[in-house]
Structure formats: structure tokens, C-alpha cells
Amino acid sequence: MKKLIFFLTLSLAFIGLQAQDVTLRMADKTYVEYNTNVSVPSAATKWFLIIGDQHVPQTQDFVIHLDSISGGAHATTVKLFGTKFGTTYTQIGSTVTWKATTADTTILFSNDTINRYRNYKVEVVNDSADVTTIDYLKFKLWRE
């Protein structure tokens, strides 16, 4: 019985951790789109990992669409990071903060500086007491 309880607890913990982050694989493609309805509650962070596995010089375009669910004084920040190896990420471009002056918004990151990142990470942080929803994100690699 103890083993069953331990297994169920471990399974629930694993499922809970998986629900926090999304991993997208590009393989040999240069474009990935993820249609989602992920909510970012108050004081929460959501991560999206994009496995690029590219070995050529490249630039990147990233689009994310945010929607306000409740409240109006949003302060949601979006950052794009890249890494060549391991888990040390470098921020690409500037942090964008959405103040929710409209019901929804689309944020575009367009990096025209050539780099050789293999993997990418998107960080969405809700620093307000309101709820933000991520409707979709799109990521494009441009081989240079």
C-alpha cells in the first residue's frame, strides 16, 4: 500500500511539473507555431523551451499574442533567450512589458544580429494581480 501511495504521489508531482512548461521541437524545420490557451495567473511565470538543433548562422523572429482575462492593470513581461550549449541562456533583444492598455496585444521580437544559438527559451511573467492568457506563439529561424 505504501508503494502505491508513493507511486501515485510521484506521478502527480511529475504531471504537475510537466504542466508548467512546454517544450517545442523544430528538428530540421525553421518554423514552429504553438496554439495554446495557457493562463498566467497573478505573480506566476511560464516557460516555453524551443529546441532548435540548428548548426548554421541564423537570426530569429518571435511573435506572442497575449490576452487579458480579468482586471486591467496588467504588467506582463516577455523575454526571449538563446543558448549554444547547456543551460546558460543569453537574453535576445530587450524585455517587453505589456501594460494592458488594450484587451489583447501581439508582441514581436525580431533579431537581425546573426548568432548560432541551438535552443531558445521564452519567459512570460505576470507581475500583476490579474490573469493573462497566451493565445499563441510563433518562432521562425532565418538561416543566414
What are phi and psi for residue 127, nearest 5 degrees? Answer: -95, 20
Question: For residue 73, what pLDDT is reported?
Answer: 58
pLDDT at 19 over 60: no
Domain extent, residue 68, equals: 22-143
Using alpha carbons, select from 64, 69, 65 the residue that is nearest to residue 39. 69
Is 31 within the bounds of a domain? Answer: yes
Taking the C-alpha atoms of residue 65 and residue 76, their distance in angstroms, rounded to an integer, is 12
Question: For residue 110, what pLDDT is reported?
Answer: 94
Number of folded domains that form the chain: 1
Is 9 within the bounds of a domain? Answer: no
For the segment 23-63, what is each residue's pLDDT rounded down to a tens digit? Answer: 999 888 899 999 988 888 888 999 999 998 888 899 999 99
Least confident of 87-91, 113-117, 128-132, 135-139: 128-132
Is 14 within the bounds of a domain? Answer: no
What CATH number has the domain bearing residue 67? 2.60.120.680
pTM value is 0.79
Average pLDDT over residues 102-115: 87
Using alpha carbons, select from 90, 77, 89 the residue that is nearest to residue 134. 77
Question: For residue 54, what pLDDT is reported?
Answer: 82
Is 116 within the bounds of a domain? Answer: yes
Is 59 within the bounds of a domain? Answer: yes
Is 84 within the bounds of a domain? Answer: yes
For the segment 58-106, what is each residue's pLDDT rounded down to a tens digit? Answer: 999 999 998 877 666 568 899 999 999 888 999 999 999 887 666 678 8
pLDDT at 138 over 90: yes
Is 7 within the bounds of a domain? Answer: no
Question: For residue 16, what pLDDT is reported?
Answer: 38
- 3-state secondary structure (DSSP) of residue 10: helix
Is 10 within the bounds of a domain? Answer: no
